[in-house]
Amino acid sequence: MQAHLNPENWRRHVRGWQIDDCLVVQPNRIALRLSAQEKEGDAGIQARLLQIHLHLNDEAQCSAHTFSAWPGPQLGLLTDPAGQRVPHVLLSADDKDGQLCLAAWEHAHEEFIEIGAWPHIRRLRQVREQSWAIGARCLYLRSERGTWLPQFAPAPEQGELRDMDAFSSHEIYAIGAYGEVWQSDGRRWRLAAELDQELCALACGGNGVAYIGAADGSLWQGRDGKWRQVRAGWTAAWQDMQWHLDRLWLAAPDCMRQWDGKRMTSVNDPWSGKLLRGRLDGRYGWLLQADAQSVRAFDGQQWRLIVAPVEES
């Protein structure tokens, strides 16, 4: 299977780097977060934000922004609800200010989530046209003016935030490391449930059911404070879950699964067994996943190879 990223662009932008995460930006545009080790003694890692236009096959196919000593980066998306601007890809730094790089394509600018607060951003999420930053101890929502507003902070004795998702701006969920499930009506947050497990991932399904993945591989489902375990633990922690093509897709470090509401089944992809990196991302009919060296997309019918190493002769 031939990769979509042409060999010259792979050599220029990917060779010598490791793929850490992937993101669907537009129907013909994806973004990757790459990393490379800095020299001994440097703080953080070297990070690269690479965007790939899938309808091009020349030098204009890629746009890259590279950062030195960029600690703990996370990848996210910012779209304009009015659809009047090109979507921006977000790259966060785990520093004292929560620095962000916002890149449209070639042009980029900076924002800061909370100056001096060490927000420790764990994930950037696009939920119902809103951009959220999940910090270890606080959820932030980006305003139309480009400021990041604190929305919710767990009590000191409660677990760190792990994930969030929403059915609407009036029904928002977040989970914590100690089994907490919080819910918001858009104005106030409440503790909706306490599950006796370490929680890792959350997804609000298009079927009106919210799903929670635990560190032991078990799966919970529910809504409005009523939760039940539908699958016992069996593998490593679920690192991400996505509702896509009318079913739940789940990713652990070494496998992918589907949940159709009754059964957990294996995903028949040609890269089974490779260690998955970062998150699953499903948007515009595509489901994107990556390992350290390659990226592939599922279009509902078959897997397409987007990025793969080039064998040098």
pLDDT at position 313, please?
44
Question: Coil, strand or helix: which one is 261?
Answer: coil
Average pLDDT of the residues in 60-77: 87
Summarize pLDDT for 95-128 with one digit per residue, the tens: 999 999 999 988 899 999 999 999 999 999 998 8
Summarize pLDDT for 165-194 with one digit per residue, the tens: 999 999 999 999 999 999 999 999 999 999
Residues 6+ apart with CB under 8 A from 31: 22, 23, 25, 49, 50, 51, 52, 75, 77, 89
Mean pLDDT of the chain: 88
pLDDT at position 235, please?
67
Contact 161, 198 (CB under 8 A): no
Domain topology for 154-267: Methylamine Dehydrogenase; Chain H (2.130.10)
Residue type, 214: A
CA distances from 207 to 74, 247, 290 (A): 29, 8, 26
pLDDT confidence band for 83 (50 / 70 / 90): low
pTM beyond 0.85: yes
What does the CA dihedral 300, 306, 308, 312 come to, rounded to 10 degrees? 140
Q: How far apart are CA 104 and CA 78, in angstroms?
A: 9
Q: How far apart are CA 91 and CA 74, in angstroms?
A: 6
Name which residue leads in pLDDT, 84 or 67. Answer: 67
* E-state strands within 237-299: 240-244, 247-252, 255-259, 264-266, 276-283, 286-291, 295-298
Neighbours of 211 (CB within 10 A): 25
Summarize pLDDT for 214-239 with one digit per residue, the tens: 999 999 999 988 999 999 887 678 98
Residues 6+ apart with CB under 8 A from 269: 256, 296, 298, 303
